[in-house]
Structure 1
Amino acid sequence: TSALVAEKLAAWGIEVHRNIAGTGVVGVLRNGNSSRSIALRADMDCLPMTEETGLPHASKTPGKMHACGHDGHTAMLLGAARYLAATRRFDDRKRSIDHCIGIRN
């Protein structure tokens, strides 16, 4: 998941930092010269359980399942990152937007 997130952020021209605490990803989007920034954050960890839904998008990793909404949170944050990268529509007093997508242990 973290490789896919990093790939998407990089494709949209966002500076990417990988392997934060193992599997975390941080994307930095800069605009202007201010030293101020804000962060948008989402979890992308999974639960230690086997998915038995049979759905096409079910986990392919035995014993791991995205069952707590974090996949949705990651998708929403990627949507925000894509929009902000394309439009640069954020306050010019904020120099950067940090998109933090990580895992909790």
Structure 2
Amino acid sequence: MQHQHILAWLGDVASDLHSIRHDIHAHPELGFEESRTSALVAALLQQWGYEVHTGIGKTGVVGVLRNGSSSRTLGLRADMDALPIEEASGAAYASRHPGCMHACGHDGHT
């Protein structure tokens, strides 16, 4: 995909990506308890055409996107877990789980 196409695509999906991030932020889950988050990630990856493998290390998700016949591989990794901290941000998408929040950006990584 050329640079201009990537920027155009990002412009098209920016609103959706913000909504997904806000949803993940509002529903934080501690490490190895990310069942809702991993199900959401798996469903989105499948929707976007990825081959999806779930249950990796309990709640992990792997998405594989194949393009052509190249043997080259690129790996990306993201954390999904939240922290046992009370959120006091007041944001519309603030944590709905008392004592648990995304305080270090994992909602954005995912």
Q: Normalising TM by the smaller chain, what interval?
A: 0.5 to 0.7
Corresponding position: 1:28 with 2:64: yes
Corresponding position: 1:59 with 2:87: no
More helix by share: 2
> Unaligned stretches of 5+ in structure 1?
75-105
Q: Which protein, 1 or 2, shows the higher relative CO under an 8 Å CA cutoff with sep ≥ 6? A: 1
Query: What number of residue pairs does the alignment pair up?
Result: 74
SS at match of 2:65: strand
The residue that corresponds to 1:15 in the other structure is: 51
SS at match of 2:54: strand
Which range moved further: 7-16 or 48-57?
A: 48-57
Structure 1 residue ranges (4+ consecutive) displaced by more than 4 angstroms after TM superposition: none
TM-score (norm 2): 0.60
SS at match of 2:43: helix
Shift of 1:63: 2.0
* CA RMSD across the alignment: 1.4
> Unaligned stretches of 5+ in structure 2?
1-36
More strand by share: 1
SS at match of 1:17: strand
Shift of 1:16: 0.8
Shift of 1:5: 1.0
Q: Deviations over 1:48-79 (max 9, x none)?
A: 112122221111222211010111111xxxxx
